[in-house]
Amino acid sequence: MARKLAGFVLACLAVGTPAWAHHSFTAQFDAKKPVTLKGTVTEVEWINPHAWIHMDVKGDDGKVVNWMVETGSPNILLRRGFTKKSLEPGTAIVVQGYMAKSGENKVNGGSVVFPDGKQLFLGGSNPDDPGAK
Amino acid sequence: MRYLYRLSALTTFAVAVVTVSAQQPDAKTTTASKAWKQPKTPWGDPDLQGVWPSQNMIGTPVERDRKLGTRAVLNDEEYAKRVAQQKRGDFSGTLRPEGKFSLAGGWADSGKANRQASLVVEPADGRIPALTAEAEVREAARKKHWQQKHDSPDTWMDLTTWDRCITLGPVGSVIPSAYDSGQEIVQGPGYVVFRSEMIHEARVIPLDGRPHASPEIRSWMGDPRGHWEGNTLVVETTNFNGNIFVGAQGGGFGDPGAVATDQLRLTERFTRIDEGTIQYEVTVDDPQTWTAPWKIAMQLRREANYDHIDEYACHEGNIFMHDALAGARVTEKNAAQAGVQKGVN
């Protein structure tokens, strides 16, 4: 299913055995399937323990699909530089993260890039991400 | 960068407090500064109210490095290493200190480097005592099952009570987590309520001397009773259900600690030692699990940017449980198809 959805780049990287984290990353997401999503924010759920960004992503076939991006907790996002206005509906964003093992349209978000080039961490939970070392 | 500067500025203060507490962890000896006076509630109890995150202690290991032996305080070299570790773990701002930017999202908050060698302060080696023979067998079975099933669960029962959003237990709720380490104390005449952000706990602690509930009544968070010893709130908790992991948070494979039996007894001491700090101590006693009692000591500190606790929607609409179980089924299906292909070829 993931391969049919364009609009994102799927790259397989060899990574180590992930360690444990709350809501085990490895039970929920696939560290071997990093993904980049380009689209626009449709909704944000500012809830503990993980906020969720909903975004529309247009595939190569022109079809728009809504994706869910798991992030860190709201107070983590606050400390990473987000404000309540950072992710208003319609905001164009590029999210990097990891695909859900279930194959559904969900990712664990690692970082986001805004149109002005600003980058912020999303509180991604892959403990073996190269940047987590 | 601003955060790092603040971290540095706070370090001196942190060292002073931690050095005292690590060497003399008892509340009796963690006396307040002379200039500071313990505030009282309108009804005369010591006032401990406020939000006191344990976040500052992130980075202090539960158990002490064996190389340190009975030395509870880091030397300058060890402390410098901890400061460097904290900087590496600091994801505040938009870039890593070294300028890298990757998928890593900074899931964890960083603490404030201190010289306390371990959260465990008793026994003197700062390590959780050996398990009883019975508990060794129990724990080996639990860890084996966890290793086999945690990343690809057959049922929700294969996941920890943390994964399942049930509870971390009283100790796991207080010791620093990678995130959401908010703690709040609210008082009323005859009661203290201790709230923990993760996972949405509110322990209502009566102070009127009533006896514990019947031994027939068991619960995840136990049955707490509190009383004052001077300005220290002492809370004794019993009546646990025998399913609580006590030690490092969560109870994954390799985490120090174990699932305690229903004979678990916790004795906690909360002492406000200045305007912004509560000295927290908990003695863990379960003779069916550990060969000796052991004690954690640490500081809960006010944080300028952590003045309230958000509501906790732990299951995020049951997304994790769905994703973990559905992901495991997809993995199984893919493996089965790969097996068929292999057979055909």
Q: Judge if B234 and B335 occupy the same domain.
A: no
Separation between Cα atoms, residue B340 and residue B345, nearest integer Å: 9
In this structure, the answer to whether residues B90 and B67 fall within a common structural domain is: yes
- pLDDT single digits (tens) A62-99: 999 999 999 988 888 888 889 989 999 999 999 999 99
pTM: 0.82
Q: Per-residue pLDDT averaged across A28-54, rounded?
A: 93
Query: Residue B322 belongs to what domain range?
Result: 318-345
Residue of A nearest to B304 (CA): A79
Length of chain A: 133
Please give the full DSSP string across B271-314, using - where no structure is assigned. EEEETTEEEEEEEEE-TTTBSS-EEEEEEEE--TT--S---B-T
Instruction: Give the model confidence (pLDDT) of B107-128 as tens digits.
Output: 677 788 999 999 999 999 999 9
pLDDT at B140: 95
B297 plus B329 within the same structural domain = no
- Distance between CA atoms of B180 and A9, rounded to whole angstroms? 32
Q: Do residue B272 and residue B343 come from a single domain?
A: no
Nearest to B94 among A22, A68, A118 (CB): A118
| B202 has a pLDDT exceeding 80 | yes
Q: Min CA distance, B98 vs chain A (Å)? A: 11
Q: What is the pLDDT of residues B8-30, one digit of tens each?
A: 333 333 333 443 444 444 444 45
Say how many C-beta atoms besides its own lie within 10 A of residue B337's C-beta: 10
Contact A27 B306 (CB under 8 A): no
- Whether B109 and B168 share a structural domain: yes
Tokens 């769905």, located at residue: B322
Give the other-Cβ count within 10 Å of B29's Cβ: 12
What is the band of B310 on the pLDDT scale with cuts at 50, 70, 90?
A: confident
pLDDT digits (tens, 9 = 90+) for B254-296: 789 999 999 999 999 999 999 999 999 999 999 999 999 999 9
Distance between B6 CA and the closest CA of chain A, angstroms: 13
What's the confidence (pLDDT) of residue B111? 83
For residue B160 the two structure tokens come to 């920890």
Per-residue confidence (pLDDT) for residue B251, from 0 to 100: 65
Q: Please check the confidence at residue B104 and state whether its pLDDT lies above 90.
A: no
- Which is nearest to B142 in space by CA: B247, B295, B17? B247
Name the fold adopted by A2-132: OB fold (Dihydrolipoamide Acetyltransferase, E2P) (2.40.50)
Question: For testing the chain A interface, which of B96, B107, B112 should be mutated: the one with the most A CBs within 10 Å?
Answer: B107
Q: What is the pLDDT of residue A49?
A: 87
Q: Are both B310 and B246 inside the same structural domain?
A: yes
Identify the pLDDT of residue B22.
Answer: 43
Q: Are residues B201 and B330 in the same domain?
A: no
CA distance A91 to chain B (A): 18
Choose among B186, B235, B232: nearest CA to B207. Answer: B235
Whether residue B157 sits in one domain with residue B118: yes
Which residue in chain B is spatially nearest to A122 when comparing CA positions? B105
DSSP letters spanning B221-255: S-EEEEEEETTEEEEEEE-B-S--EEESSS--TT-
Q: When comparing pLDDT for B271 and B253, which is higher?
A: B271
Put simply, the answer to whether A22 touches B162 (Cβ < 8 Å) is: yes
pLDDT band of residue B95 (cuts 50, 70, 90) is very low
d(CA B139, CA B137): 6
Count of A–B CB contacts within 8 Å? 173
Q: pLDDT: is B251 or A30 the higher one?
A: A30
Does B44 have pLDDT greater than 90? yes
Q: Name B9's Cβ contacts closer than 8 Å, sequence gap at least 6.
A: none
Look up the ipTM and state it. 0.74
| Beta partners for residue B265, in sequence order | B285
Q: What is the dihedral of CA A90, A95, A100, A105, to 10 degrees?
A: 30
Query: What is the distance, to the nearest Å, from the Cα of residue B265 to the centroid of all Cα atoms in its chain?
Result: 17
**Average of pLDDT values for B231-254?**
89
Task: Strands of chain A (E only): list them.
Answer: 8-10, 29-45, 52-58, 64-70, 92-100, 106-113, 119-121
Contact B319 A106 (CB under 8 A): yes
A29, A48, A96: residue with CB nearest B313: A48
Cα distance from A7 to chain B (closest Cα, Å)? 18
**B177/A79 Cβ within 8 A:** no
> B171 and B127, same structural domain?
yes
Shared domain for B112 and B223, answered yes or no, is: yes
Q: Which chain B residues are within 8 Å of A47, Cβ to Cβ?
A: 310-311, 313, 316
**Where does residue A4 fall: left (phi above 0), alpha (psi -120 to 50 degrees), or beta otherwise?**
alpha
If one counts the domains in chain B, the total is 2
Lowest mean pLDDT among A119-128, B25-34, B43-52, B192-201: B25-34
pLDDT at residue B316, as a whole number: 65
Tell me what percent of the residues of chain B surpass a pLDDT of 90.
61
The mean pLDDT of B38-57, rounded to a whole number, is 96
Picking from A91, A101, A92, the residue whose alpha carbon sits closest to that of residue A70 is A101
pLDDT the model gives residue B308: 87
The pLDDT mean for chain A works out to 80
Tell me whether strands A64-70 and A106-113 are parallel, antiparallel or unpaired: parallel
pLDDT at B313: 85
Helices (H) and strands (E) in chain B, counts: 5, 12
Name the residue with higher pLDDT: A74 or B74: B74
Distance from CA of B256 to the nearest CA of A (A): 13
